[in-house]
Amino acid sequence: MIERLAWVTAREARGLDEDESIALTALKRTGVAVDVVDWNDPGVAWSSYDRVVLRSAWDYPQHLPEFLNWVEDVDTVSELVNPPATVRWNLDKQYLAELAEDGVSITPTVFVHPGATARFPDGRFVVKPAVGAGSRDAAWYGPDEHHSATAHVARLHAAGLTVLIQPLLASVAQDGEWPMVFFGGTFSHAASKRVTLPRAGAVEALFAAEANAEHSASPDQISVATKALESVARRLGTPTYARVDLVRDDNGRYCVLEVELIEPSLFLPFADATAADRFAEVLIHSPG
């Protein structure tokens, strides 16, 4: 068991992480000393911690080169959770193509690389960057808004980003998404999430507004999410914590929208009373 742990956040995220107080209370019960620190605070002595846990460093997409340097530097003097290889793989949502190669059901997705021309599906659709967090720079468009969507793609391409284009699934408006949370590779709990994406615009805050609730996961949901996590584990090892976001496709089947392995919200306020203790245990005992 470790003795000192750094809970990593960002200055702009202070007070916004609903998991934080619940998890810190659980960690306190273990006897481990925990400090809440900003990832880019030059005054932090990272080598003084046995483990450095990425939690709410939600501004990293706006400081990506600096963040990646920090990830590598910290891992040379402490143990970063989740580890650098997992962070790098999960940064770019093109990992969805790798999951699909492993037979994981994913949301229909087209990747448009800088310099390529975007082709939009019939009906409503979503445009978002392959590298991003909190639904920033994501928006949905109607079938008569291809001109605005093209401008959105061009803006992301100008920033050097690959773009994802996905149909706006009809079920999302009705059912939302289902985040499936895993600790140490074992399913822990689920939640229901509704994200308000702007129409023909972009999220300017750290993350888009959400409406969340408790959810009891079905066997089918757990099966799809577990298959996605097994695909990750074969490539990178089992992550200490993970979140697999599911939606229903237009055929009513569950599919993976995203896999969150860097700094995901874990929906502890909507979990059972022992979820925070399970999280604390993997943080202090898991090899990361």
Out of 63-72, 106-115, 197-206, which region has the weakest mean confidence (pLDDT)?
Answer: 197-206
Helix (H) or strand (E) holding 281: helix 275-285
Tell me: pLDDT of 287 over 80: no
Cβ contact 70:22 at 8 Å: no
- In tens, the pLDDT along 217-247 reads 999 999 999 999 999 999 999 999 999 999 9
The CA distance from 107 to 100, in Å, is 10
Tell me which DSSP letter residue 28 carries.
H
Look at residue 288 in the predicted model and tell me its pLDDT: 46
Percent of the chain with pLDDT strictly greater than 70? 93
- In tens, the pLDDT along 150-167 reads 999 999 999 999 999 999
Indicate the pLDDT class of residue 195, thresholds 50, 70 and 90. confident
Mean pLDDT computed over 15-43: 97
The more confident residue out of 38 and 201 is: 38
For Cα atoms 82, 47, 282, give the angle at the middle one, nearest 5 degrees: 35
The rounded Cα 215 to chain-centroid distance in angstroms is: 19
